[in-house]
Structure 1
Amino acid sequence: MRRRYAVGLVSALLVTLCAPATAVSAASSSGDAPAPRTHSAASAPSAAGRHQVITWGASMDRQGEGPRDRSYRAVVRTSVGGTGVRVRLSNAFGDQPVTFDSVYAGKRKEGAELVGGSNRPLTFGGAGSVTVPPGESVVSDPLSGRLAAQSDLVVSYHVLSAGGPSTGHGMAMQTSYATAGNHTAEESATSWTDRTGSWYYLDAVSVETDRDTGAVVALGDSITDGWQSSTDTNRRWPDYLSRRLQSATGIGVKGVANEGISGNKVLADGAGQSALNRLQRDVLSQPGVRTVLLFEGINDIKAHSGVTVDDMIAGYREIVERAHAAGKCVVGGTVLPFKGWSEYDPEAEAVRQGVNAFIRTSGELDGVADFDRMLRSPYDQEKLLPVFDGGDRLHPNDKGMQAMADAVDLKSLRCDR
């Protein structure tokens, strides 16, 4: 949902490179809207008992025109650690090919500066350059060495040629950097003078880990995206959930991917493709995903669009059915109260209550994260508890984000499918 506003050691991260020389293309299936084809670089098979798991993700949308001869330095926070780091670059919303002629990954020291000796080139089918056609994405060859959990990975890439709309994630709640020309190999911050609050083209990072380890994807709107949490501090509720999972024992789910888009809806495109239309690209195509934590609906409900409880349930059911068909568990997050927000009215509140009753009692989901019960006021259950309110009666603050993560039963994130 979108608030109205103007808009240790180096070896612990990356040790050495492994750049296989061949490539293979794979097409992903789609739901209601086409998912971009993903070209995956082939590598030596994973060791017995190991597989690839997403450690970071961001949902993509159409952005402004993409300039050529520009470098981006994206700062991302890992969840699960592992070896064989791969990145996925997306041109899902472009209408022209995008050429990346230099892509590096390293460990952040501070700001745009990297830890000395950590910055290493990535390859794609053994080549240092790759062109991504419109509507498609590409996955890099793996890097040998280990990427630590809960660390700041920096992916630097130079766009040699582009044009038309770019692909990116508008509201990152994280400062990244950009500059003219190719400065991807540089570890200093000298050239990286342009600051940006968005991620461009980079939509996923994965690692190789044991087959007992999987990931959860948070599919949501601006609350999941982190609006009203503190910028550059990783205090979105999926970040808090990631830290809980890393410290938990006996829980096989360690990876967390945040696939929230501000303003997003379950049923209708607008602020990004709807949850239904982006489910394949943002969730089901990601490696190692065990569970979808579905937390969407407030933007459909408060939009005065005539959406009914039955409409919302039909949308949830389709997501659940498609996720189950792909062998994924689905945990439903109850919709938070929003009395005091400008679009609140009793009719919308009735729909919210009906949706939450379905999530809690239908038995069609594999688990429930009762965010509503955790964050609502005991004095007026249609309102957020003030200590959790970010100030607009809709978005939780840092304390509210942590409370949401605490409301998730970690055992529910792995079901028998």
Structure 2
Amino acid sequence: MAQAQTSGPAAPPRAHQVVTWGASADRQGEGPTDRSYRMVVRTSVGGANARVRLSNAFGDHPVTFDSVHAGLRKQGAELVRGSNRPLTFGGARSVTVAPGAAVTSDPLSGRLAAQSDLVVSFHVADSAGPTTGHGLAMQTSYATAGDHAAEEGAASWTDRTSSWYYLDAVSVETPAATGAVVTLGDSITDGWQSSTDKNRRWPDYLARRLQGASGTGVKGVANEGISGNKVLADGAGQSALNRLQRDVLSQPGVRTVFLFEGINDIKAHTGVTVDDLIADYREIVARAHAAGKCVVGATVMPYKGWSEWDPEGEAVRRGVNDFIRDSGEFDAVTDFDKLVRSPYDQERMLPVFDGGDHVHPNDKGMQAMADAVDLAALNCDNAG
């Protein structure tokens, strides 16, 4: 009688999927039927076999996507000739996504370069009720009536939009040693006051630094900031805690979570205390650690000069920053407060970094923030 053969330990995977672009989903307005969307996004890490994720997270009716294509942008809504190729979902050209759900495409053969303008075009054949999307894209995309997703020219794409609809993530296949960081934040991370269509949000600058850096396996960056977002309360998007799974932990290849939120909780005058924010920071860290991710905490930047500033809010901000710096509960800390504050009034942002409203940095401030991130701190294997 033949004896059963025992095999040794499984070999580690040689390649895996890593998120190369992401945008947090939120509830948008009513979605028209028979509408095509041409969404322009910038990749971070390059790789093979790209996959896109379409979300109906905030819809209350099924949405049918057909004629889904991905190509490279030449200029405006025009694509590089020959680059626009159809995507499939379980081998089919059309897919219907239930309310609250998302779907990921089959891999698209070939390589997608880092820092590419990827264009995902799709026709929504059947839609009703609210759409799912990202309101503040800081990037011009396009829409039109009818099905024009397969076209590479720009003639049909007459409507411009500053939002992304339905598309909330793109991933690529990379060597297994390559990973990604997700920046979980509010309008500062979302890029408000940075230059539109220039990819000058601080996570964009960070992505470019990572591409040129040696000694780190973190190359992907997903920007999961929502303008007006809070740590504790839903409002402008679900709270950081409530959207953590969908926007962050569900993304493939994530090694590190970069947590930079709190200013909207503090300046809203809702009675939020230092202990309130600390409790939710701790829960976010615990959930990320349980998922095998490291967490970098960033201090809350000064906002004196903004209409909602007051000494009480300033006291909360300072108390929260003391916790972030000194508690030891984060795997690393980036001190944005120290970076951008004025030496003459530490409650204010340096004018050279101020985008004009005393809360949001300009392009120079965004770049300084990215430059302040310790890249080695992102190269974390497991939070344990």
- 2:181 touches 2:254 (CA, 8 Å); kept in 1? yes
Equivalent residue number for residue 171 of structure 1 = 136
Q: Is 1:396–2:361 an aligned residue pair?
A: yes
Distance in 1, matches of 2:314 and 2:150, equals: 53
Equivalent residue number for residue 44 of structure 2 = 79
Deviations 1:173-205 (A, max 9, x none): 000000000000000000000000000000000
Q: Is 1:365–2:321 an aligned residue pair?
A: no
Equivalent residue number for residue 190 of structure 2 = 225
Distance in 2, matches of 1:358 and 1:78, equals: 34
Q: Is 1:236–2:201 an aligned residue pair?
A: yes
Please, which of 205, 222, 226 is the counterpart of residue 257 of structure 1? Answer: 222
Q: Secondary structure at the match of 2:41?
A: strand
Q: Structure 1 length normalisation: TM-score?
A: 0.89
Gaps of 5+ in 1: 1-46
Distance in 2, matches of 1:266 and 1:57, equals: 19
How big is the shift at 1:240? 0.2
Equivalent position amino acid for 1:354 in 2: G
Distance in 2, matches of 1:176 and 1:114, equals: 13
Q: Is 1:320–2:285 an aligned residue pair?
A: yes
Equivalent residue number for residue 14 of structure 2 = 49
Distance in 2, matches of 1:369 and 1:176, equals: 33
Please, which of 53, 56, 59 is the counterpart of residue 88 of structure 1? Answer: 53
Distance in 1, matches of 2:166 and 2:380, equals: 33
Gaps of 5+ in 2: 1-11
Distance in 1, matches of 2:322 and 2:139, equals: 35
Distance in 2, matches of 1:177 and 1:330, equals: 35
Equivalent position amino acid for 1:308 in 2: T
- 2:133 touches 2:163 (CA, 8 Å); kept in 1? yes
Q: Secondary structure at the match of 1:277?
A: coil
Distance in 1, matches of 2:41 and 2:167, equals: 10
Equivalent residue number for residue 98 of structure 1 = 63
Distance in 1, matches of 2:131 and 2:264, equals: 25
Equivalent position amino acid for 2:57 in 1: A
Equivalent residue number for residue 3 of structure 2 = none
Please, which of 296, 302, 318 is the counterpart of residue 337 of structure 1? Answer: 302
Distance in 2, matches of 1:247 and 1:64, equals: 39
How big is the shift at 1:101? 1.3
How big is the shift at 1:414? 2.2
How big is the shift at 1:388? 0.1
Q: Secondary structure at the match of 1:291?
A: strand
> Identity of paired residues, percent?
81
Q: Secondary structure at the match of 2:242?
A: helix
Equivalent position amino acid for 1:287 in 2: P
Equivalent residue number for residue 247 of structure 2 = 282
How big is the shift at 1:355? 0.6
How big is the shift at 1:237? 0.2
Q: Secondary structure at the match of 1:415?
A: coil
Q: Secondary structure at the match of 2:258?
A: strand
Q: Secondary structure at the match of 1:208?
A: strand
Equivalent residue number for residue 386 of structure 1 = 351
- 2:135 touches 2:163 (CA, 8 Å); kept in 1? yes
Q: Is 1:346–2:304 an aligned residue pair?
A: no
Equivalent residue number for residue 180 of structure 2 = 215
Shift of the 323–215 alpha-carbon distance from structure 1 to 2, 3 Å rule, reads same
Please, which of 183, 189, 193 is the counterpart of residue 158 of structure 2? Answer: 193
Distance in 1, matches of 2:89 and 2:143, equals: 22
- 2:37 touches 2:142 (CA, 8 Å); kept in 1? yes
Q: Secondary structure at the match of 1:388?
A: coil
Distance in 1, matches of 2:131 and 2:67, equals: 18
- 2:255 touches 2:381 (CA, 8 Å); kept in 1? no
How big is the shift at 1:382? 0.5
How big is the shift at 1:416? 4.2
Equivalent position amino acid for 1:258 in 2: N
Q: Is 1:141–2:110 an aligned residue pair?
A: no
Deviations 1:261-320 (A, max 9, x none): 000000000000000000000000000000000000000000100000000000100000
Q: Structure 2 length normalisation: TM-score?
A: 0.96
Equivalent position amino acid for 1:165 in 2: P
Please, which of 73, 84, 92 is the counterpart of residue 119 of structure 1? Answer: 84
How big is the shift at 1:102? 1.1
Q: Secondary structure at the match of 1:87?
A: strand
Distance in 1, matches of 2:326 and 2:333, equals: 9
Deviations 1:65-93 (A, max 9, x none): 01110000000000000001000000000
Q: Secondary structure at the match of 1:216?
A: strand
Distance in 1, matches of 2:65 and 2:121, equals: 10
Equivalent position amino acid for 2:358 in 1: R
Moved over 2 A (4+): none
